[in-house]
């Protein structure tokens, strides 16, 4: 957490809490928490609040995950029945986010992946 502002810490915690407590809500609440969580994650990756660096070719992966999560959850809002269970979408995207920000993104001590692109 070195050099992270209080705002970043609070927003990061909000993402975690949305994932943890989403199961207490119905499908609509879970979809809404998912959209909120993915939007906060995108904000944390934006130039406004970003910290750390991505190895070459990896930055797009976090954006694809957030956009896909939002699109699926919005489709869940629009459909009469869920396209994909909102809880499953939240769990999948939040797990992917946790992996990417823990093992791929470099916060000053090096990344667990090489500087090669994911396709190499």
Phi then psi for residue 68, to 5 deg, are -60, -45
- Residue 111 banded pLDDT, cuts 50, 70, 90: low
Q: Are 95 and 23 in contact (CB under 8 A)?
A: no
Half-sphere exposure of 17 (CA within 13 A, CB side): 7
Q: What is the pTM for the complete model shown?
A: 0.79
pLDDT 10s digits, 52-104: 788 888 889 989 999 999 999 999 888 888 788 998 999 999 899 888 888 88
**C-alpha–C-alpha distance, residues 67 and 116, integer Å:** 24
Angle of helix 59-78 relative to helix 86-99, nearest 10 degrees?
A: 170
46 pLDDT band, cuts 50/70/90, is confident
- Domain chopping of the chain, boundaries: 6-104
Of 29-33, 65-69, 107-111, where does mean pLDDT reach its minimum?
107-111
Sequence-distant (≥ 6) Cβ neighbours of residue 76 within 8 angstroms: 27, 31, 82, 83, 84, 86, 89
Q: What is the pLDDT of residues 89-99, one digit of tens each?
A: 999 998 998 88
Q: What is the pLDDT of residue 2?
A: 52
SS3 state at 25: coil
**Average pLDDT value for residue range 44-51:** 82
């Amino acid at each position: 957490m070195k050099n992270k502002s209080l705002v970043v810490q609070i927003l990061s915690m909000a993402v975690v809490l949305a994932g943890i407590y989403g199961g207490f809500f119905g499908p609509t609440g879970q979809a809404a928490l998912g959209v909120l969580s993915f939007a906060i994650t995108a904000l944390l990756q934006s130039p406004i609040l970003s910290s750390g660096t991505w190895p070459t070719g990896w930055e797009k992966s976090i954006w694809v995950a957030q956009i896909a999560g939002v699109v699926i959850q919005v489709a869940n809002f629009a459909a009469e029945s869920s396209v994909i269970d909102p809880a499953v979408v939240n769990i999948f995207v939040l797990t992917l986010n946790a992996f990417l920000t823990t093992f791929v993104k470099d916060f000053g001590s090096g990344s667990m992946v090489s500087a090669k692109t994911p396709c190499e």
